[in-house]
């Protein structure tokens, strides 16, 4: 087993110091004898997961969150370029829609989920912050997505997720389109997921892909394509 604790520590320290170029150099060096996807799985993903946890506990700055998101984008582009020979597979990516619910602007957790999902092969349509229920559902219908992922950090904004469930019901899409929910408040109150109409939640961004795959499969069983 590769002991990469020092690499993860170096990447974490560089992100917290805002040194994007250094992070890229560290990940390039790690990937040189392995691959960029391995660098994502073994180094950057664990670091991003820790940053997501520390975000709510230590009040990391927006600048640190920005750097974390940008280095993730940088590495995903390198993975894409390195795997161009799998273009047919890339074209067959499954679409999903994610965003922060109406009145919620805490974007770091959502951005990390987007990184994890893209790394796992999903085609992610990220609608950003303050997304209405209608916007979520309309985009899912437009792109043929069978899972919507909605993020909320606080209880007051998590309650707005009920509007997404109501909109799915209104358009007779419940069952066909599943609703995944996540954010800091759901770690504190896991039962809240069901209370706001969610079909499932994940304990962290790293587990998001497993949740989305489970919900996608459930949707296909209930309403086949």
Tell whether 127 and 81 lie within a shared domain: no
**The predicted structure's pLDDT at residue 68:** 87
Distances (CA, A) of 49 to 30, 68, 169, 197: 19, 10, 33, 26
Burial 82-114 (b: 16+ CB within 10 A, else e): eeeeeeeeeeeebbbbbbbbbebebbbbbbbbb
Could you give the number of structural domains in the chain?
2
Looking at residue 60, its pLDDT comes to 75
pLDDT of residue 84: 63
Same structural domain, 165 and 58: no
Shared domain for 122 and 217, answered yes or no, is: yes
Find, among 6, 4, 84, 78, the residue nearest to 36 by Cα: 78
Does one domain contain both 128 and 204? yes
Confidence class for position 218, pLDDT limits 50, 70, 90: very high
User: In which band, very low, low, confident or very high, does the pLDDT at 96 lie, cut at 50, 70 and 90?
Assistant: very high
Q: Are residues 46 and 112 in the same domain?
A: no
Q: Any idea what the CATH number is for the domain that residue 198 is in? A: 3.40.50.280
Q: Of 52, 87, 122, which marks where a domain is finished? A: 87
Domain of residue 160 covers 93-222
Most confidently predicted of 86-90, 127-131, 187-191: 127-131
**In a shared domain, residues 212 and 120:** yes
Model confidence, pTM: 0.74
Q: How far is CA 81 from CA 6, 78, 213, in A?
A: 27, 5, 25
CATH number at residue 26: 1.10.1240.10
pLDDT band for position 206 (cuts 50, 70, 90): confident
Whether residues 62 and 83 share a domain: the answer is yes
Q: Are residues 98 and 82 in the same domain?
A: no
Give the residue from 50, 66, 87 where a domain finishes: 87
- 69/103 same-domain check: no
Question: Per-residue pLDDT tens for 176-187?
Answer: 999 999 998 998
Indicate if the pLDDT at residue 1 is higher than 70.
Answer: no
pLDDT at 64 over 50: yes
Q: How far is CA 71 from CA 12, 64, 141, in A?
A: 11, 11, 31
Same domain, 100 and 11: no
- 59 or 9, greater pLDDT: 9
Considering the chain, what is the average pLDDT of its residues?
A: 88
State whether 149 and 106 are in the same domain. yes
The domain boundary, picked from 37, 66, 87, lies at 87
- Whether 27 has a pLDDT exceeding 50, the answer reads yes
205: exposed, middle or buried (C-beta count within 10 Å: 0-12, 13-18, 19+)? buried
**Same-domain pairing of 160 and 186:** yes
């Amino acid at each position: 087993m590769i002991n990469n604790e020092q690499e993860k520590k170096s990447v974490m320290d560089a992100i917290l110091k805002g040194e994007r170029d250094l992070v890229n150099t560290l990940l390039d060096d790690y990937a040189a004898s392995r691959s960029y996807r391995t660098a994502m799985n073994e180094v950057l993903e664990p670091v991003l997961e820790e940053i997501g946890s520390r975000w709510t506990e230590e009040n990391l700055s927006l600048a640190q969150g920005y750097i974390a998101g940008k280095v993730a984008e940088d590495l995903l582009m390198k993975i894409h370029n390195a795997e161009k020979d799998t273009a047919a597979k890339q074209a067959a990516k499954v679409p999903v829609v994610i965003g922060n619910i109406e009145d919620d602007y805490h974007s770091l957790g959502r951005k990390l989920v987007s990184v994890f999902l893209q790394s796992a092969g999903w085609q992610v349509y990220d609608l950003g912050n303050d997304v209405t229920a209608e916007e979520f559902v309309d985009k899912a219908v437009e792109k043929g997505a069978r899972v919507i992922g909605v993020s909320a950090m606080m209880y007051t904004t998590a309650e707005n997720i009920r509007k997404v469930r109501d909109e799915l019901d209104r358009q007779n899409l419940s069952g066909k389109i599943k609703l995944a929910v996540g954010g800091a408040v759901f770690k504190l109150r896991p039962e809240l997921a069901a209370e706001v109409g969610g079909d499932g939640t994940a304990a962290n961004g790293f587990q998001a892909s497993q949740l989305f795959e489970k919900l996608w499969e459930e949707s296909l069983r209930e309403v086949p394509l």
